[in-house]
Amino acid sequence: MASSVRAFLLPSNMRLISNPILCNYYVTYRCNASCGFCDIWEKPSPYITIENTRQNLLDLKKMGVKVIDFTGGEPLLHRQIDLLLQMAKEMGFITTITTNGLLYPKWAKKIKGKVDMLHFSLDSMNKEKHDQGRGVACYDFVMDSVRIAKQLGERPDILFTVFEDNINEIEEVYEYCQNVGLILILNPAFEYSGVVTEVNYTANDFRQLKKWSKKKGVYLNNAFLKLRKDGGNHVTKPVCKAASSTVVISPHNELILPCYHLGMKNILIENDLFELYHSHEVQQLVALEGRYPQCEGCVINCYMQPSFAVEMNKYWWRALPSTLKYNTMKGTWKQLF
């Protein structure tokens, strides 16, 4: 009875938020690691400038964006990352950075208090296995980064990318997180054009992941699991709202559409991001989000997460408990409204 009343009051596939809520801001494509499940480090790249970023942030604020993910590559390679973060915080954005830890000890004091969601990548408590997967010896730097961040009063998270061959190592990483007081984020691995991970979770893998999603101090969006069981995005009835929920900006100061991983169209931003985004050309591309042939079967987390937040459907309901759980743990939920 309760579910039927809910369905009547809140119809499915109803758009809740019309504006983009997230910006994936690529500060550089350069990286000091060479992860096997990523190819971004292979690309030559400039760095974003303070001047362009300031204007783009003003436009993003005007567009209604709430969260700025300064990403890469390795975002801490940017020599002015502290100033970029400070600008975003002063404008009222929620900020997030994911790092391999190699440069965090150098930046720790300068970026203290400027990152709302600071993620350290760690895929195994086995040093050799983690370093092998990342293509560089960074395990010790992650451990050091956690120690330094805690000493500074920061609240970092551990981001664990889940493959079939490390799913049984979640337990040990979870115990570490519990011992040092960190949230464990489980990030199911995914494939995209040019990068093949050959991830094919078994029914037992799904059961394990669902079990972990319920654990104290663990964040795993259950909608990710449901989408994978459903075969990913389908172009005939797309769940992906990448282009309308997320603004992607390249290190070349370009608007990338419909998303970074598909990257079919790069348009130079000339101090006109707000007007550019709402232009006829861009909105035509936005209208085709999730419908391109390459979108079939897509399960890319960084675009599905905001997609689940802007339209009410079965994935919205699956994502809601875990999203509230994480933002409550982080204390960022008030900033979303």
pLDDT value at residue 330: 86
pLDDT value at residue 164: 87
pLDDT value at residue 43: 72
Tens of pLDDT along the chain (337 residues) come to: 344 444 444 555 788 999 999 999 999 999 988 777 776 666 779 999 999 999 999 999 999 999 999 999 999 999 999 999 999 999 999 999 999 999 999 999 999 999 999 999 999 999 999 999 888 999 999 999 999 999 999 999 999 999 888 999 999 999 999 999 999 999 998 776 665 556 788 999 999 999 999 999 999 999 999 999 999 999 999 999 999 999 999 999 999 999 988 888 999 999 999 999 999 999 999 999 999 999 999 999 989 999 999 999 999 999 999 999 998 998 876 565 5
d(CA 129, CA 187): 17
- Rg from Cα positions in the chain: 19
Burial class of residue 218, CB neighbours in 10 A (0-12, 13-18, 19+): buried
d(CA 201, CA 216): 23
pLDDT value at residue 14: 87
pLDDT value at residue 68: 98
Please tell me the CATH code under which domain 18-336 is placed. 3.20.20.70
Contact 19, 66 (CB under 8 A): no
Contact 169, 188 (CB under 8 A): no
Spatial CA neighbour of 164 closest among 112, 128, 131, 123: 123
Q: Which two tokens stand for residue 140?
A: 């010790």
Contact 230, 310 (CB under 8 A): no
